[in-house]
Every structure is written in structure tokens, then in C-alpha cells.
Homo-oligomer: A and B are copies of this chain.
Amino acid sequence: MNYSRQRELILKTVKESKSHPTAQEIYEFVKGKSPNISLGTVYRDLNFLAEAGVIRRIDVGDKQIHFDGDILEHCHFVCLDCGRIHDIERKDFCRDENKNLIAKGFVPLRKDVIIYGQCPLCNKKEKEN
């Protein structure tokens, strides 16, 4: 039991892209291969795939959600000038963090680390039921 034709196309597009595209950008690309695809379908399928864990959502605070086909652990560097999202390897981030980045020409200014999961209160509640 595989994904539908459209969903497969959207998945392939995200997986093959290196640019962390938005839903709109993915829509514009897949329209070339499946001209009457709808934007709603792109959103629905992207959410489906993200929920299934085969792609990853990236929220960098530029009003649009970006998508990443690489679900292996890595960080992102967002350029405040051009807006591009660069992939950062784990080893270039933790321990002497900025050193490696700066050596590659990046100028890090600010960092956001967000962990998602279940908080102690909700975990306790769940265990009790």
C-alpha cells in the first residue's frame, strides 16, 4: 500500500530539494509535472507526510513553513540577509560551537533551541489514567 500519485510526487520533490522549500514553492514546482494539482493538496500532503515523520517541518519565523526531506538530526542556519536556510552538521554546532561555523564564514548572531515533547505535568497526568 503506497502513497497516491500526487503524494508520491510531493514527497519526491521535498526529498530531492536542497533548499528547504515552502508549500508555495513546492506547489509551483509540482505544477510543472502535474499541472492541475491544487495548492490545498500540497498543504494536505505535506502535513500528512510531516505527521508520518518522513519529512520535517522547519519554522524559522519568516511567516512561511519550510519543509526538509532530510530527517536525520541536523541544525539550521538562517541568514538574516538573504533568508536562505543552510544545513549545519551536528558536530559544527555543539562544543566550541561557533568556532567551526565562523571558520566556514558564517557569522552567528543568535540561536534558538526548542525541544518538543511531554512536560512533567502532562506525563504525570497520562500515567495516572
Contact = CB atoms under 8 A, between A and B. Distances in A.
Interface of A: 57-61, 65, 73, 75-82, 84, 86, 88, 93-94, 101, 104-124, 126
A104 B120 contact: yes
Given A77-B116, A78-B117, A105-B123, 16 more contacts: A58-B114, A76-B112, A77-B114, A80-B117, A80-B118, A81-B118, A82-B122, A84-B119, A86-B119, A88-B115, A94-B94, A107-B117, A109-B118, A110-B115, A111-B116, A112-B114
Q: Number of copies of this chain in the oligomer?
A: 2
A63 to B, nearest CB: 10
Contacts of A108: 115-117
